[in-house]
Amino acid sequence: MAMISVLLKIDEEHVVDALREAADKLDSSDGEVVLDFSSVRKIAPSAIQALENLASVANNKSVKVVLRGVNVDVYKVLKLVKLASRFSFLT
C-alpha cells in the first residue's frame, strides 16, 4: 500500500493556525504528515500547546508527524518541554 504524506509549510507568524490546519488534515493523510519548520526561528507558548494537541491527535489516529527543518533553538525548547520524542525530525 502506498503512503501519502501531507506536507505543510509553517510560517513563523502563523504557527498556531498552521498546526490547527495540520491537525485537521490528519484524517486525509495516510499515515504521515510532514511539517516544514524551516522558517520558524522561535516558538511561543501557544505554539507549544498546539504542538501538544497535534501530537495527541496524531497518536490517536496512528499518524506519524515529521518536523522538517527545525532549528536548534526550537529543538531545544521541544526537548525541554518533553515534546521532541513525540515527533520525527528531518534536516
Asked if CATH classification 2.40.50.1070 holds for the domain at 5-90, the reply, yes or no, is no
pLDDT one-digit tens code per residue, 25-46:
887 777 889 999 999 999 999 9
For residue 1, pLDDT beyond 50: no
Claim: this prediction has a pTM higher than 0.75: yes
Mean pLDDT of the chain: 90
Question: What is the per-residue pLDDT across 52-61, written as a single tens digit (0 to 9) for each?
Answer: 999 999 999 9
* Rounded Cα distance, 31 and 33, in Å: 7
pLDDT number for residue 90: 92
Q: Where are the domains of the chain?
A: 5-90
